[in-house]
Amino acid sequence: MSIIRGTYIAVEGSIGVGKTSLARIIAQEMEAKLVLEDEIKNPFLPDFYRDPHRFALRTQLSFLLYRHEQQSSLSQLSLFQMAIVSDYIFDKDRIFANLNLDERELKLYNQVADLLESDVLTPDLVIYLQASPERLLTNIRIRDIDYERSITIEYLKNLCEAYSQFFFHWDKSPLLIVNATRMDFVNNEKHRQMLLKVVKEMPAGTSYFNPET
């Protein structure tokens, strides 16, 4: 089943929550253009995980510029009425910036981000995947990426709180909040089809999906 052409769906959530996996599933199911954030293109990311204070600003600005380049190109795709699924939103960069930068760095970062934001397409639906820090850490350990091995449960707790606060105030588009702590949309067919059914309905406002209730 193909979703309405020209629709833009973005998947968001903390590190290790399954954003890319879900974006791939939705894009394949709905015959949409898949847009992925390739973290390998940020040369400062391994340095950041090793020494966050020293490399935070360089890491954030690198992400910001790359994300702007990729996201601003989506408006060209929309001209051809292609459905689009992305595994991130441009605004996510501010979550990490507020978490990782000091006051002076954040002021500089925001000046740059404010200039770039107007070029970016707003999603028609954002899917926010939530999971407990413990589940996230388990997922991160399973995929075992070298530079992610230094991620701590404390960092994930702070990140989860930052995401919750950010999306509590989200009003740019409809928002589907998914409890991903106890669900497996990759390997559990029932969970996957239940979630896809909700996504295809393109819910308005803020809605919630919890397969355990």
pLDDT tens, position by position, 116-138: 998 888 999 999 999 999 999 99
Q: What is the CATH number of the domain that holds 91?
A: 3.40.50.300
pLDDT of residue 64: 94
pLDDT of residue 31: 87
pLDDT of residue 28: 93
Specify the number of domains making up the chain: 1
pLDDT of residue 75: 73
* Domain span holding position 122: 8-209
pTM for the structure as a whole? 0.89
Judge whether 89 lies within some domain.
yes
Q: Give the helix ranges, DSSP H, for the chain.
A: 19-30, 45-50, 52-72, 74-79, 92-100, 103-117, 133-143, 153-168, 189-200
pLDDT of residue 4: 61
> In this structure, what is the dihedral angle of CA atoms 141, 143, 149, 153, given to the nearest 10 degrees?
-40
pLDDT of residue 130: 96
pLDDT of residue 88: 95
Judge whether 193 lies within some domain.
yes
Judge whether 3 lies within some domain.
no
Judge whether 1 lies within some domain.
no
Judge whether 2 lies within some domain.
no
Q: For 132, left (φ over 0), alpha (ψ -120 to 50), or beta?
A: beta
Q: Which residues lie across from 208 on neighbouring strands?
A: 177
Tokens of residue 187, six digits = 């390997």
Residue 139, burial from CB neighbour count under 10 angstroms (0-12, 13-18, 19+): middle
pLDDT tens-digit series, residues 58-76? 999 999 999 998 888 887 7
pLDDT of residue 2: 46
Residue stretches of the chain with pLDDT short of 70: 1-5, 39-40, 77-81, 212-213
